[in-house]
Structure 1
Amino acid sequence: MNCPLAHVEEIFATANGAVYQCSRKNCYWLEFQHTTTAFRISDFFSFKKRIDAINLASMIDDASRRSDFEIVMPFRTERCFLLSVQDVLALREILAGAKFMIELNSEVKKILRKDCLLAQ
């Protein structure tokens, strides 16, 4: 991680990678393919949409060598992902799990705020 003074919390992890939240830089860190990439919050969700939009069926059906990999260059990062079908599936799992946990945390905080206001 490039954020040594930050309080970094794991949001979601699998055997293939993880997503962390950085409180210092207000960003998400994606650990995947033995590297770590920082994303602004909005860029993280845009990246997830872009990965979800990859047409795996065409990658599998197309016999040409050019369809074996997908190249993805996330916005505002210096990273370039070269993804096989297996990599896309692994990355989708990580990103979907992270999004779910982020949304779950947000809902829990809303409920707790409501309960605190009602208790007053």
Structure 2
Amino acid sequence: MQVREVVASTNWTDVFATNAGAIYQCDAENCWYIDFAGKVARFDYRCLMKLRKAVNNIDIEGLLLDNTKSPDLEIIFICACDDTYVLTLTEIIKFKELLQGTFVMLDLNHIIYNRLYRVAV
């Protein structure tokens, strides 16, 4: 069963998607679902922020230029979160794109909401 089929039968809202994955928001459960690297993982907002920080802190250029280490895999583990990702450098780049796009959409949604519903002072 594809994640898109599950989304259609639940109350998940698409936040952002690429060819590599997607992130959904579930207001009923107050959480986020990330469909990436062959699995769907559930995160609360705090853990999603930690994941974003961990992925953004990976120095891809440094890994590629460091001849003493094999830059094939990176393990992303977030304390207080249930999921761990073991990703190749290509997957890390795609994951960064997915997370960055998600937070751009969230910022855009916040801006639009504030413009539409701001109270006259």
Normalized against structure 2, the TM-score is what? 0.84
Q: Does 1:102 align with 2:116?
A: no
- Give runs of aligned pairs for residues 1-120 of structure 1, distance below 5 A: 6-64=10-68, 66-114=70-118, 117-118=119-120
Task: State the shift of 1:77 in Å.
Answer: 2.8
Structure 2, gaps ≥5 residues long: none
Q: Which amino acid aligns with 1:27?
A: C
- 1:84 and 1:59 map into 2 onto residues whose CA distance is 11
Matched position secondary structure for 1:83: strand
Count of residue pairs the alignment pairs up: 116
Task: State the shift of 1:3 in Å.
Answer: 8.9
- 1:107 and 1:88 map into 2 onto residues whose CA distance is 28
- The range that moved more, 55-64 or 103-112, is 55-64
Matched position secondary structure for 1:77: coil
Q: Which amino acid aligns with 1:46?
A: K
Task: State the shift of 1:66 in Å.
Answer: 4.0
Q: Which amino acid aligns with 1:19?
A: I
Asked if 1 retains the 8 angstrom alpha-carbon contact of 2:71 and 2:89, the reply is no
Task: State the shift of 1:78 in Å.
Answer: 2.4
CA RMSD after TM alignment = 2.1
Structure 1, gaps ≥5 residues long: none
- 1:113 and 1:39 map into 2 onto residues whose CA distance is 28
The superposition leaves residues 50-69 of structure 1 with CA deviations (integer Å, 9 ceiling, x where unpaired) of 10000111211123454321
- 2:8 and 2:44 map into 1 onto residues whose CA distance is 17
